[in-house]
Amino acid sequence: MAAADRPLNEVQFLTVAEVASVMRVSKMTVYRLVHSGHLPAIRVGRSFRVPEQAVHEYLRDSYVGVETA
């Protein structure tokens, strides 16, 4: 179930720093993904919160598999 389809009390939100840690990238990379629309987020004051499920979906959809012949 996508984060948008869940009741808000069931959605776990991550900070940009937490997303960067999970993805093992810089915070700037996370900000770029958010601003480009590749990673959905909500704005809370001056910061962003990213649904945890959205991070998992982004990583799953971005996975590059190796095909064997």
pTM reported for the whole predicted model: 0.79
Per-residue pLDDT tens over the stretch 5-64: 667 778 899 999 999 999 999 999 999 999 999 999 999 999 999 999 999 999 999 888
- DSSP for residue 26: -
Residue 14 · residue 55 · CB < 8 Å? yes
Q: Where are the beta strands (DSSP E) in the chain?
A: 13-15, 42-44, 47-51
What residues have CB less than 8 Å from 29, skipping those under 6 apart? 20, 23
